[in-house]
A and B are shown apart, each in its own frame.
Chain A
Amino acid sequence: DIQMTQSPSAMSASIGDRVTITCRASQGISNYLAWFQQKPGKVPKRLIYASSSLQSGVPSRFSGSGSGTEFTLTISSVQPEDSATYYCLQHNNYPFTFGQGTRLEIK
C-alpha cells in the first residue's frame, strides 16, 4: 500500500503569510494527487487535482506542485477563511490513500 505522509500535522499562520503543506508518497504516484479543504462539520472540498490543476471556483492563491513522490500545496497569502484542515489523496494505486491532514489555524 502507498503511504501518504503529510506535514506538518498542524500549523498557525498570520493573515498574508505564505503557507506550504507537503505530502510525500511512499512510492511514485505520477501526478494522481488531489488536495482537499475541510472546515469543521462540512464536506471536503477539492482544491487541486492532477497535482497542480486548480479546481474551478477556487481562489488563485491556492496552488499545487509536484510529481512522483513529493507534492506541495501552497497558499500564497493566507486569508481568515482558509482556516481548515487540508488533506492530500493519491488515486494512482488501490487502495487509495489520504494523508493524515494538516490543521491550519489563522492567528
Chain B
Amino acid sequence: EVQLVESGGGLVQPGGSLRLSCVASGFTFSTYSMNWVRQAPGKGLEWVSYISSVSTTIFYADSVKGRFTISRDNAKDSLYLQMNSLRAEDTAVYYCARAYGSFNWFDSWGQGTLVTVSS
C-alpha cells in the first residue's frame, strides 16, 4: 500500500524556520518526482514546490522562492521542505504528493501537516 506520511509541522513565530518531512513507503520512491502542496485554512490548494526523482530539476512557487528549499534523500525514502523566514501567510496544511511520468501526477497524497506562523 502506498503511504506518504508528513511530519514536522507546528507553531512558529514570524521570521522563524521549520523543516517538514515526508516519508514514503509501498512504492519505489527513487523513481518518482515529488511535490509539496499547501492549503491555508478555508482556502484552496496551492502548489508550492517540485523535485525530480534524482533532484536534478527543482521548481518553486514565486510565493516561496528564496525562502523555502525542497530536497530529498532517496536512501531514506524521504522528502523535505526547509522553510525559512516564515510569514503569517505561510500558515497552511502542507501535503506531499508524488508524480510519475507524463500524467501519473498527484495520485497519492500524504495526510498533511499543519504549519501555523503566529506570534
Contact = CB atoms under 8 A, between A and B. Distances in A.
Contacts of A89: 45, 47, 105-106
B27 interface: no
A44 B112 CA distance: 10
B44 A53 contact: no
Interface in A26-46: 31-32, 34, 36, 38, 43-44, 46
B7 to A, nearest CB: 15
Interface in B88-104: 95, 99, 102-104
A22 B46 CA distance: 19
A49 B45 contact: no
Contacts of B102: 32, 50
Contact of A43 (B99, B104, B112): B112
A96 B104 contact: no
A99 B43 CA distance: 12
Nearest to B45: A98
B106 A36 contact: yes
Contacts of B111: 43
Nearest to B63: A95
B103 A96 contact: no
A89 B50 CA distance: 14
A32 B99 CA distance: 12
B1 to A, nearest CB: 13
Contacts of B47: 89, 95-98
Interface of A: 1, 31-32, 34, 36, 38, 43-44, 46, 49-50, 53, 55, 85, 87, 89, 91, 94-101
8 contacts: A32-B102, A44-B95, A49-B107, A94-B59, A95-B60, A96-B47, A99-B44, A101-B45
Interface of B: 35, 37, 44-47, 50, 59-62, 95, 99, 102-107, 109-112
